[in-house]
Amino acid sequence: MEAARFEVKPYPEMWESLDMDVPRFDKARQMLGEVYGKMFMSQPNRPEKMAYFDDMISEIFGRRIQEMIDVKKEGRPIVGTFCVYIPEEVVVAAGGVCVGLCGGSPGSIPDAEKILPRNICPMVKSAFGFKVGKICPYFQVVDFVYGETTCDAKKKTWEILDRLVPTHVMEIPQMKNARDKTLWFEEVKDFKTKVEEVCQKTISTDDLAAAIKVINNKRRALQRLTKVRASSPAPISGKDALLIEQIAFYDEPVRFAEKVNELCDELEERARNGEGVIDSSAPRVMVSGTPMALPNWKVHNLIEAAGAVVVNEESCIGTRYFKDLIDENKSTMDEQLDALTDRYMKIDCSCFTPNYERIDQILKEYKDSNAQGILHYSLQFCHTYNIEEIKVREACEKEGIPYLSIESDYSPEDVGQLQTRIEAFLEQIRG
């Protein structure tokens, strides 16, 4: 497929049926296609198996939505989420579909700012704006949203979002003591009850065991992708890898895992033959920090346009989503839920305090990915990541790791300045 010919396919009638602002959304669709064509399709030596993921973008507002509409017709629910803390295994066990709704586009922010304060995280504003403007088919198709009490921006936005779409909230603890785990365990149980209620279905241990396998397999496939990225020359661009990590939040999990594994076969073959997307002398950068939601490719694009390659994302749209698995060898419901709770309590989000595990994890991923520098990325107004950045910086200084911290939003205004800073960082790595 040529860059110029790449298109995100239109489905105006389906959008109409979802009560969307069709003319406006159609413009956004065209723009996404153009940006994607430019940023992705022209990359040199792309793996062949990226074709599936290109197609997922081409059909992002069509086929995948139709699949979800079909699921709904069978009386199974579509649950929208905003955090990797919501246990998708439970939704899958009930026959439902989980979809990540985090917003990564500046286009919907003006809609959000009609209601929300301006000085909050762009990811929250972008997502909220999609609902206000009726310009995201995923938001339109979900039966309800499950929010959480992680950061303040999200926690308080749920109260307002509830006016537009039914929004439930799970309480996520702020610390990781025994009593926090107990609280979280209770919340997981409530979540299960709620999902069962909506689906009018009782989740059996077999259902849950099967769902845990499905999601574990998805996470395993992504782990495998991360592992092969450690080889030099890099067998896949960081942009493509990030794209796959983003698609993980809306694709059908079994098919997705299969496709990621097929891609990994190709990439491992490349690694064996010493082939890559870029020369092995290109600086290898690891990105760490706040999630980059679709279509936020700003930083990866700048890094790779400057001749470097991104080899790892320590982020929720990245390794934090798939580094831990759930123990599959539990037989009773309580044991299963307990194992699930254990796995989820390992998520090292900056909303927790203290959060030493994350610093260790960053250093581990830095080594494992054979990176040569760390770029910390924080969305503007994300206080928890912005403050935790201090510790990441200190750790990098101590270890002598080249380091750059960036705080940015979705606007193109700071691209020139970011480009200079990123290039200077790469000069530092090149020495």
Partner 1 sequence: MQVGIDLGSRTIKVAVVEDGRMIDYRIAESGFDPHGQALEMIKQYKPSKIVATGYGRHLAQKHFAHDVITEIKAHAIGARYHFPECTTVVDIGGQDSKVISLGANGSVVNFQMNDKCAAGTGRFLEIMATSLGFALDEFGPAALESDQEVAINSMRTVFAESEVVSMKNRGIPPKDVANAVHLSVVNRLTAMLNRVGFGESIVFSGGVARNPCIVKMLQERLDCVKVESPSAPDIVGALGAALYADRC
* Ordered alpha helix ranges (H), 12-115: 12-17, 22-36, 51-58, 63-73, 88-93, 109-113
Return d(Cα 137, Cα 354) in angstroms, integer: 38
Specify whether the CB–CB gap between 380 and 408 falls below 8 A.
yes
Between 147 and 402, whose beta carbon lies closer to partner 1? 402
CB 380, min distance to partner 1, A: 9
Choose between 237 and 384: whose C-beta lies nearer to ligand SF4: 384
Q: Which is nearer to ligand SF4, 105 or 384 (CB)?
A: 384
Name the minimum Å distance from CB 347 to ligand SF4: 5
Smallest separation (angstroms) from partner 1 to the CB of 424:
4
Q: How far is the CB of 116 from ligand SF4 (least distance, A)?
A: 12
Q: Taking contact as CB under 8 A, which single stretch among the options 3-11, 112-120, 179-187, 406-414 is the one that binds partner 1? A: 406-414
State which H helix or E strand residue 377 sits in: strand 373-379
Give the binding range for ligand SF4 (CB under 6 A) out of 70-78, 180-188, 224-232, 347-355. Answer: 347-355
Residue 349 is a binding residue for ligand SF4 (CB under 6 A)? yes
With CB cut-offs between 5 and 8 Å by kind, which of partner 1, ligand SF4, none does residue 99 bind?
A: none
Residue nearer to partner 1 on the CB measure, 256 or 377: 377
Burial of 208 (0-12, 13-18, 19+ CB in 10 A): buried
User: What is the dihedral sign for C-alpha 168, 174, 176, 182?
Assistant: negative
Q: Minimal CA–CA distance to 170: which of 384, 284, 17, 341?
A: 341
Number of residues that bind partner 1 (CB under 8 A): 12
Q: Which stretch binds ligand SF4 (CB under 6 A): 174-182, 208-216, 324-332, 343-351?
A: 343-351
Q: Half-sphere exposure of 127 toward its Cβ, with a 13 Å CA cutoff?
A: 27
Q: Site for ligand SF4 (CB under 6 A): which residue of 208, 212, 379, 395?
A: 379
Q: How far apart are CA 134 and CA 139, in angstroms?
A: 8
390 binds partner 1 (CB under 8 A): no
Binding mask 286-315 for ligand SF4 (x = CB under 6 A): ----xx------------------------
124 binds, among ligand SF4, partner 1, none (CB under 5 to 8 A by kind): ligand SF4
Q: How far apart are CA 47 and CA 395, in angstroms?
A: 35
Alpha-carbon distances of 145 from 25, 316, 358, 403, 429, rounded to whole Å: 21, 18, 28, 37, 43
420 binds partner 1 (CB under 8 A): yes
Residue 427, interface with partner 1 (CB under 8 A)?
A: yes
Closest CB 131 distance from partner 1, rounded Å: 28
Q: What is the C-alpha separation between 376 and 368, in angstroms, rounded?
A: 17
CA angle 15, 160, 103 (to 5 degrees): 50
DSSP character at residue 201: -
Q: Decide if residue 121 touches ligand SF4 (CB under 6 A).
A: yes
Strand partners, 170: 148
Q: Residue 345 CB, nearest distance to ligand SF4 (Å)? A: 12
Strands (E), 117-211: 144-148, 167-170
* Residue 421 contacts which entry, partner 1, ligand SF4, none (Cβ below 5-8 A, type-dependent): partner 1
Q: Which residues, in sequence order, are bridge partners of residue 99?
A: 80
Place of tokens 């509409």: 69
CB of 183 to partner 1, least distance (A): 38
Q: Select the span of 225-233, 270-278, 336-344, 416-424 touching partner 1 (CB under 8 A).
A: 416-424
Could you tell which of partner 1, ligand SF4, none binds residue 427, using a CB distance below 5 to 8 A set by kind?
partner 1
Report the distance separating Cα 196 and Cα 204, nearest Å: 10
Q: Which does 431 bind (CB under 5 to 8 A by kind): ligand SF4, partner 1, none?
A: partner 1
Q: What is the dihedral of CA 172, 177, 178, 180, to 10 degrees?
A: -20
Calpha distance 5→206 (Å, rounded): 46
The answer to whether residue 383 forms part of the interface with partner 1 (CB under 8 A) is no
Question: What does the block give as tokens for 398?
Answer: 């101590």
Site stretch for ligand SF4 (CB under 6 A), options 2-10, 59-67, 354-362, 379-387: 379-387
The contacts of residue 26 (CB under 8 Å, 6+ apart) are: 10, 12
Interface ranges with ligand SF4 (CB under 6 A): 83-85, 121, 123-124, 150-151, 153-154, 290-291, 316, 347, 349, 351, 379, 382, 384-385
Interface ranges with partner 1 (CB under 8 A): 407, 413-414, 416-417, 420-421, 423-424, 427-428, 431
